[in-house]
Structure 1
Amino acid sequence: MKPAGQRHKQDFAKEPAQALEQLMDAFGANVLRTAFFYTGDAYLAEDISQEVFLRAYRSWSAFRGDSAVKTWLTTITVNVCHDKMGVRMFTEQPTEPGKLELGRTISVEEEALERLKKSEVLQHVLRLPLPYQEALYLYYYADLSTREIAEATNTPEGTVRNRLHRAREMLARDMGKEGTLHDG
């Protein structure tokens, strides 16, 4: 039995243009959220999302379907983010759309990205070293298994499990210091 939400290549059209539309409908929000997590910039996340789907379109016929489509798209997203951001990940201040264009209406996607950015737990996650941030995000927010994270990040699965374990410990300590966790 495959987990809920796991879709494979055979679930999509064979023709790349039709598959692209289906991929964008099924995974567009996930790709955008993941790109935003890596960049902290709504506009750059949108650019990365477009690049991800362009790459997916170009390589759809070559994609063998060895992994779930979500894992494949997450791998592309992580790679594009690394390409675009390199070492600068999480070192620049995120762009705030409201400050750039006054009077502009905020879309649902921008509002969701803003809420994600302000999430209390996410603020604690962003204090962790990058490999731990990545492991937590991909496991809890992108809902990937440790095997899928290993595949998406080109990291051994044991390393992913270790990073998750250590990240949880560090997060609990950090949140406990600020009185965020409640005894219960």
Structure 2
Amino acid sequence: MKPTRRGTRWSDMPRDEAIARLIEAHGADIRGLALRLCRNEADADDLAAEAFAQAWKRWSTFRGDAKPSTWLYTIATRLCRRRMKRGATRRMPALSQVLPFAERGLPASAVHGDGAAETSIRNEEVRAAEEAIAGLPFAFRVAIVLKDIFELSVEEAAGVLGIKENTLKTRVHRARLAVRKALLSGARSRPAPEPIYPRRVCLDLLNAKQEALDRGRGFPIGQEVICERCRAVFRTLDRTQDVCAALKVGKMPESVRRAMRAAASEGGGAAPRHSRAKAGTRR
């Protein structure tokens, strides 16, 4: 693993110094992850502080085989999973409901859009994506949050969740299609051209596009091979991933930073909500 800027490996640093530096380097991302998973700001603030308390307690177990950020993501997702088990179980839409083959129109955002109209469309898409991701079952929500919002590699995201890479990709692909459908709901459209290939070929092309998005690379098949309908669908998938990336929360309130530091202080006890409220952190 890479050393810190001072040439010291994270795993060799004293615990208090390491956790303090990790809070500054990754605190905002851990809070943002918790916010996307818990869907509640107060719960996210508490969970982020608890994650660093757990990191403080477990620092001796960090060997440096993974990035410290990946290790923190693992702690935070496990904490959120335990918390989410107390809530109602959500159902994932059937695959047939989110596949694009039955769609009869192309959305306006895939056909044109600039200036004020494009800004309006973008704002609507961001809100729709937030709601769609929040409504996914936890296993699918955490997969797309790690992959498309926090832009972890397939290998890193699968490692965080302790699942096989193919399982991770299956969940990301289903979740991405569900978010895409939410973005297109209610959008102005024009009639879509008929596909020129059998359904099986279209599905193979769709899977190839999803794999390309997973790798962050261009589509490996020449545009001259792809029909107009598939090109339009692929543009909406590009747009979906782009909107998801915009959902990353990059700022952290100073009150949350103080709560993280308190939680990770000697003893590793997470600061309770009522103590943070006294400090003026409840909003």
The aligned counterpart of 2:14 is 15
Structure-2 separation of matches of 1:22 and 1:13: 13
SS class of match (1:88): coil
Please report how far the alpha carbon of residue 89 of structure 1 lies from its aligned counterpart in structure 2 after TM superposition. 6.8
Q: Say whether the 8 Å CA contact 2:154–2:165 is kept in structure 1.
A: yes
Cα distance, 1:171 vs structure 2 = 2.3
CA RMSD of aligned residues (A): 2.8
Per-residue CA shift, 1:10-50, capped at 9, x if unaligned? 25761000001100000111111111112122122111111
- Within the alignment, does 1:145 sit opposite 2:145 as a pair? no
Counterparts of 1:54 and 1:18, CA distance in 2: 14
Match of 2:67 in 1: 68
* Contact 1:36-1:45 at 8 Å conserved across structures: yes
What is the Cα deviation at residue 180 of structure 1?
7.5
Structure 2 CA distance, aligned partners of 1:89 and 1:152? 24
Name the counterpart of 1:94. none
The TM-score with structure 2 as length reference comes to: 0.48
Task: Map residues 1-184 of structure 1 onto 2, 5 A cutoff.
Answer: 10-11=9-10, 14-88=13-87, 119-179=127-187
* Distance (Å, rounded) in 2 between the aligned partners of 1:25 and 1:62: 21
* Mapped contact 1:128–1:171 kept (Cα < 8 A): no
CA distance, structure 2, for counterparts of residue 161 and residue 40 of structure 1: 23
Q: State how far apart, in whole Å, the 2-side matches of 1:61 and 1:176 are.
A: 48
Tell me: higher relative CO, structure 1 or 2? Use CA pairs within 8 A at least 6 residues apart.
2
Structure 1: gaps (5+ residues): 3-8, 92-117
Does the 8 Å contact 1:38/1:90 carry over to 2? Answer: no
Cα contact 2:11–2:64 (8 A) shared by 1? no
Stretches of structure 2 that go unaligned for 5 or more consecutive residues are 3-7, 91-125, 191-231, 236-283
Percent of residue pairs bearing the same amino acid type: 26
Contact 2:128 2:183 (C-alpha < 8 Å) held by counterparts: no
User: Which one has the largest radius of gyration?
Assistant: 2
Whichever residue aligns with residue 141 of structure 1, its letter is: I
Match of 1:61, SS state, is helix
Alpha carbons of structure 1 residues 27 and 40: separation in structure 2 relative to 1, 3 Å: same
Contact kept, 8 Å, 1:39 with 1:90, in 2: the verdict is no
Matched residues, number: 152
Letter in 1 for 2:42: Y
